[in-house]
Every structure is written in C-alpha cells, then in structure tokens.
Amino acid sequence: MTGDRRQRRDAAANRERILVAAQDAFRRTGMTVDMRAVAAAAGVGIGTLYRHFPTREDLVRAVTGTDLASLAGGALPPHVCAIDGLGAFFRTAIAHLTANKALVDLLTDGSPSDEDLERCLIHLTAIGQDAVDRSRADHTLAADVTAHDIAYRFLGLIRIVQLMPDAEPEAVAHQVDLTLRGLASH
C-alpha cells in the first residue's frame, strides 16, 4: 500500500511538472511547441507526458483551460457608455491574451476543438449584445453594429495580435483604437 501511495504521489508530481513546463512553453511559443521539449523541461520522458496527456490537444486544454475561463469571465465594466465599455474590455482581454501565444493560437486557429471557439464566440456575442443594448441609450456605437459584429471584431483583433511580430503594447493599443473607431457612431 505504501508503494501505491508513493507511486500516486510521483505521478501527481510528474503531472504537475508537465503542466508547469507546458504552460511556460505554450505561452512563449504557442501551439507549435515540441512535445519532447515540454517533457525534457518537466524532467520526464515523452512516454510519461503522453501517459498523462495522450494528445497535444489534451495538454493544451489542461494548460489553457484556466485562461479560457478567465476570458469567459470578462464583461463590460458597469456604468460606462457602450464604446468606453468595449474599449476597456478589449484592452484588458487583449493584454491578457498577448501574454499567452497558445491561447491566441487556440482562438485564431479554431483548435484544439471547435467547441472551445464556439463557447468563446457565444460569450463575446453576449458582451456585444450588452454593448448594443447600452448604445440604444447612449448612441455611442454606429446604428448598424450588431452583437455578432463586436464578437467578430474582437476575434479579428486576436488574429492581428497573432500576426504582429512583436506585440508591443503601443502597437496593440493602436489596433484596438482602430477597431473601436470602426464601431463608434460618427
């Protein structure tokens, strides 16, 4: 029995080391990270990595799940006009995403599963609907802007960030501002 407990403790420790190493590698490199490099950084063999995470998708989900949950928890700040609320949400969410190349890859490439992207799109559309509803009173969004437009603009921003060689905060902020100008009433 003592050997079983020790083995479970070792397995749990290996799993945790793999997650820490993968989180660092995915954040820096994105989805293209070499699984052997993750195993080496965790101090385990490739077989041990695949025993815990049978596919790259399983490992990506384990690593990015918290980040996706954080993004899904985002909302427009209360008591501000629609365009300012979108600006605050876009800036906060994009800043969070630029620190995690794997999450950007996940959202722009539609992998590891369409289900994750669909959940994100549903949430972003709900945020867009909140902005459209606010704009009915404050008229800060163009009259033809829809909740889906806002969701897709945000996904477009993520793709732009992915394409930028060095996502410098000023350059990212400029892209957010350009997007907001396109949504604002004139």
Model confidence over 43-78: pLDDT tens digits? Answer: 999 999 999 999 887 887 788 766 666 676 789 999
Residues 70, 44: one domain?
A: no
How far apart, in whole angstroms, are the C-alpha atoms of residue 42 and residue 161? 29
Do 96 and 172 reside in the same domain of the chain?
yes
Reply yes or no: is the peptide bond before residue 112 cis, omega within 30 of 0.
Answer: yes
Supply the pTM of this predicted model: 0.72
Are residues 75 and 37 both part of a single domain? no
CA-to-CA distance for 167 and 171, rounded, in angstroms?
A: 7
CATH number at residue 25: 1.10.10.60
Does 41 lie in the same domain as 74? no
- Shared-domain flag, residues 119 and 72: yes
Residues 142 and 82 in one domain: yes
Residues 6 or more apart whose CB falls under 8 angstroms from that of 109 comprise 31
Residue type, 154: F
Asked, for residue 59, whether it belongs to a domain, the answer is: no
Please determine, for residue 38, whether its predicted confidence score (pLDDT) is greater than 80: yes
Amino acid at 16: E
- Give the model's confidence band at 166: pLDDT under 50 very low, under 70 low, under 90 confident, else very high: confident
Q: What's the rounded Cα separation, in Å, for the pair 69 and 173? A: 23
What's the pLDDT tens digit per position in 103-128? 777 777 765 456 767 778 889 999 99
- Domain limits at 31? 2-54
**Model confidence over 169-182: pLDDT tens digits?**
888 899 999 999 99
Same domain, 133 and 177: yes
Total number of domains in the chain = 2
